[in-house]
Amino acid sequence: MTLTSKALILAASFAAVATTSAFAMEAEADQLAGAVMRELSLRGLPTDSVMDLTIAQIQQLKQIFANSDSSNEMTSAAKSILQRAGQPGQ
């Protein structure tokens, strides 16, 4: 096997791993967004801007739902994040 052949095989291996990793990360992000959308819907909050949220904002919402002491506190914090969704620079 020539050096060029080995390099091509190695490059193909790296490409396959990168593609698999990207797919797994996208699937995880979709699951998180779906969970947040269900939680917002159950709490009577708007869900129309969920797809505009960043991963960090989705994680913040999940944390709020898990750790908020009161419904008012959770609703206020969630609404604040949802209002920022899609705004430039956020």
78 versus 28: the higher-pLDDT residue is 78
Q: How far apart (Å, rounded) are the C-alpha atoms in residues 55 and 20?
A: 19
pLDDT of residue 89: 47
Question: Do the Cβ atoms of 62 and 54 come closer than 8 Å?
Answer: no
Residue 21, Cβ density class (10 Å: 0-12 exposed, 13-18 middle, ≥19 buried): exposed
b/e map 22-31, b = 16+ CB within 10 Å? eeeeeeeeee
Q: How far apart (Å, rounded) are the C-alpha atoms in residues 65 and 45?
A: 12
pLDDT tier for residue 15 given thresholds of 50, 70 and 90: confident
User: Which residue, chain included where needed, has tokens 């969704």?
Assistant: 85
Mean pLDDT of 70-81: 84
Mean pLDDT of 14-42: 75
- pTM above threshold 0.75: no
